Structure 1
């Protein structure tokens, strides 16, 4: 089964809520700015996603993506085809 954008968005959002203190009412479109992610959070998120999806991400890419939805698009563009697990 191929990975859908919505599956990847939801997995990223779930990770943000569980590990980065994003509020449970955040959506995949909630920006990192609204979530008050500072530069350290962005670096930690880039490292976590690199490990989860076995794809190299740098903090500038993660910051530019700006949201769970943007991250999903970035990961798909980098060839991610499976849900982390």
Structure 2
């Protein structure tokens, strides 16, 4: 999958979604720099829920808190992963 320039203006823009690290990197970019339309196009709730224990460490506190409020299960998954 390739991200548009407004999301990834420098560095890697094409991501092999079969590679977990690249998939998480793409999600991190979308979370950090995306707009609503980008979230709809490039993010998936199930993927976020599964990857959140790792992904939450890759984004800032404000982004983490906002997404945990939008998708309540994320916070629960994080607590379970930490236990």
Q: TM-score, normalised by structure 1?
A: 0.28
Relative to its length, the structure with more helix (as a share) is: 2
Q: TM-score, normalised by structure 2?
A: 0.29
